[in-house]
Structure 1
């Protein structure tokens, strides 16, 4: 017996009533209508920073799942990050809540991969469709025939005076306008079709800001559609950080890369050597920032004398930093992962 078998929305009946219905030939007890299983729309992977705490983290996620019916997870393994869990969430806020509860209640600070939706990839010469849950699972681009992403029908109810602000907001996204319906003299219903990945991060906050908090939104899945998507990788000091990889529209890859490297520059602590932060598509660098190193004043003890003494110390410091840059490793804190997720 496990409490997992009893979910929110289940109809509980008396066993005697069930036995009586079998004997008399009556219909079986019907479940109460109106309850639907909550399905996650955003997927992200959580990896423990220490591989020895994998079992403890699994127990912690099990406890969180008991009082959060919308949270789901399953084990997965990655060559770069080790053993972890692929988790399903209702949105980015839900992800942040789970992350905060892991830190406060169980003292875990996991590595969080970039959240995304489920993509469908069809390989060349094959008919079956392969589901991709994260950018780390993306096949080689030369083997891909086409990529499809989920689209939703988005409905926004708002006072009519905010129509212009909403249209301006939607023009910045890959939305398709459908129609506008007047519910009464003051309220309107605006319908769009839009990729799910465009509205799972900060769209709700942007909508509330554009309408002074008056607008409300609802969306439903309408199917998968082919899109021109590429994998964007992040390099720190020349090493690829798998957890920061993401799938982005090709036309927005340069802009996305610039935003990510700028945020990482502010979020990653400085080291004793320079750290190059690069956004890469395939073998092409599309954006770069450099985190400046700490610098000790090695010539503070010099008082006069020949300039060659000063240059000798500076050259020695320069060589030391270059050597440290070749052997040093950069640890990405969990706060940096969340900083990248927010737009």
Structure 2
């Protein structure tokens, strides 16, 4: 395109050397694909790769990046795009095995020896593998966030909802990768891998499980189906598959996320709670507000239920 065409009203500039046509919404994957077409050695890494893979990230780090973050400034007459201090750099992160390219207000570059893979979103959307992405995030994310990503990778999927039958990785693979990793955050990653579990279905469940264990409560089983109880008439009762539970003390925890707000799901939840009550179980249902301030409210409620069911701190 000529310079005059690029100045036309229907062309908008996204970054240096990068334009979009019309008002069609642009995704982060679109930007990565365009930059990978321009540079055949380039691939997405770090937080950008994590978002493209759809792994859970905390807070604003999960938000797509399609425009330059407001971190640019002038320093001694020179444009600087890196954030100040220890703030996380949320620009689109691209990497290459060659010398790093010059960063812009929208894109940061790093030198990285890795074997990228192509996403189904397009052959030119190249990213680091899921496991390699986890390794690279160990220098950016805290312990709890790393555990949540590991839980996401190793959990057994539900075929009817996710159209896949195998986890993205095994615990053995993550342990091996963490043991061989010596980059930034390696010690934090190895500590996180020891707390990753197969059964957590959401970051909220991971967060709650970690908080319960940190508070000195026994570690619960996650999304495993307990042995069915019986009611007073001796009829077997289906206890369902609790988010977290302690079979020894017959306590179950269910975290009510957005999918539990429909009338149909609420009716199912109530009926399930009544079945568990008939079998002698105590069900603790938590919501988002219970997970604030280090899950303090949830921990107190679960501790009370366990104590009422016979648990003692020395057990």
Bin the TM-score by the shorter chain: under 0.3
**Structure whose residues are more often strand by fraction:** 1
Structure number with higher relative contact order (C-alpha < 8 Å, ≥ 6 residues apart): 1
Please report the TM-score for the alignment, with normalisation by the length of structure 2.
Answer: 0.25
Please report the TM-score for the alignment, with normalisation by the length of structure 1.
Answer: 0.23
